[in-house]
Structure 1
Amino acid sequence: MSRRVTANLFTTLDGAVENPSSWQGDAFDEILGEVMTETLSSVDDVLLGRETYDFWASHWTREDVEDPFKSFINPVAKHVASRTLKQHDVTWENCSVIDGDLMDFVRGLKGTQGRDISIQGSLSIIAQLLEAGLLDRLTLFVHPVFAGPERRLSDSMNLNRGALPLTLLDHRVNTKGTTVLVFGPAERSFPANCGEESPNK
């Protein structure tokens, strides 16, 4: 049985996923803490994009940063997808640069022994794996707020070929009104002309 590839995103009612610290507010409670702990405790490998690597490598290694996530992200095996970063440029512990095609690397990693493979941040990687059918779980933490002109996951996707349906696997709501939605691949695909009026009507 192949390993699962998972991704978690904080988002808003209007789909914003960028700069969550500016719109999350006081959203965390015991329920969200349990979900995050369950999610991270099942991860053996993390996929990162170049931008996420650049920020996180400097942030999470700082001695003055105190956050439970730090004890997870520093020791876990990290794989960076970058066309410009070289292995000799990497100083973060347990971190390596992906050599070759990202999709081929993920397929190979899925076939190895281990627990979940998680994408942290890195919207372009999530979008690419969604479109390639390689993302097994997408968890959205939907906060009851509108954020305005912030980046959305769909901004990194090519949906010219039609809709990309998913299947709802689980859902929870915390005490602050944040809804946790867990999606997996759809059992069927929408036709390319989904939404067009049928000529037989």
Structure 2
Amino acid sequence: MGRIEIELFTTLDLVGQAPGGPEEDPEGGFAFGGWQAPLLDEVAGAQIATAYEGTDALLLGRRTYDIFASYWPFQEGGQDDEFASLFNRVPKYVASRGTPELSWAGSTVLGPDLPTAVREVRDRHEHVKVVGSLDLVQTLLHEKLFDRLDLWVHPVVLGSGKTVFESGAVPTNLTLLEPPAPSPSGTVLLRYGLAEGTPRTGDMSEPGRGVDQDA
């Protein structure tokens, strides 16, 4: 069985909508499309490139797929050749409520039973990357159908927009897989793995919890 790894760019208030450009996702009248661009630096760029090493399949929502399909097939041999070569080569699996015609080579629409279809993709590949696709991510988080969650948290607060954890998120434990990695712009990469169980509770007034008993 392979791994499903979610890659997301977010703000401090965990807005993940339309980081790449004004027209990426204006749903809901979102006014901050392209908020990531002024904060991208070489360190974060290198982190992103490293995160995609070993990728052998992409799992995308329909909106993200359409954006990618209009761009990446035309980029090989150019500035973005490394990513273009990867994205054009690997299979693309698309979550859609409709029956779209997918023109990008290697693309497949997932069946209506999304959790089952995603599990089949994970059984078929070693490293499946989920890029953006916030609506799809909501399903994966709800079903706990992921193995790793990479969050590039940027030093801005937007106060509106689609967030990584929408209302209805299920209680979930995560474990930090490596130390947080900052970039010069103030962006921090947080890499989490899915952990067993659900969050526990406690009482900070209990002896030895959060209070120095000798103070």
TM-score in terms of structure 1 length: 0.81
- Counterparts of 1:32-47 in structure 2, within 5 Å, are 32-47=44-59
Residue in 2 that maps onto 1:165: 173
| Count of aligned pairs between the two proteins | 189
Residue in 2 that maps onto 1:16: 15
Relative distance call for 1:115 and 1:34 in structure 2 (3 A) is farther
CA distance in 2, matches of 1:196, 1:85: 51
Relative distance call for 1:63 and 1:135 in structure 2 (3 A) is closer
Find the structure with the greater CA-based Rg.
Answer: 2
Residue in 2 that maps onto 1:182: 191
SS at match of 2:70: helix
Residue in 2 that maps onto 1:134: 145
Determine if contact 1:50/1:85 at 8 Å carries over to the other structure.
no
Determine if contact 2:17/2:134 at 8 Å carries over to the other structure.
no
1:129, CA displacement in angstroms? 1.3
CA RMSD in angstroms comes to 2.6
CA distance in 1, matches of 2:134, 2:203: 30
Relative distance call for 1:66 and 1:106 in structure 2 (3 A) is same
Is 1:77 equivalent to 2:91 in the alignment?
yes
SS at match of 2:108: strand
Determine if contact 1:74/1:93 at 8 Å carries over to the other structure.
yes
TM-score in terms of structure 2 length: 0.77
CA distance in 2, matches of 1:30, 1:51: 27
Unpaired segments ≥5 residues, structure 1: none
Determine if contact 1:167/1:187 at 8 Å carries over to the other structure.
no
SS at match of 1:185: strand
1:12, CA displacement in angstroms? 0.7
Q: Structure 1, residues 45-95: CA drift from partner, whole Å, max 9, x if none?
A: 111112222222223234698434333222221011112124xx1111111
Moved more, 60-69 or 174-183: 60-69
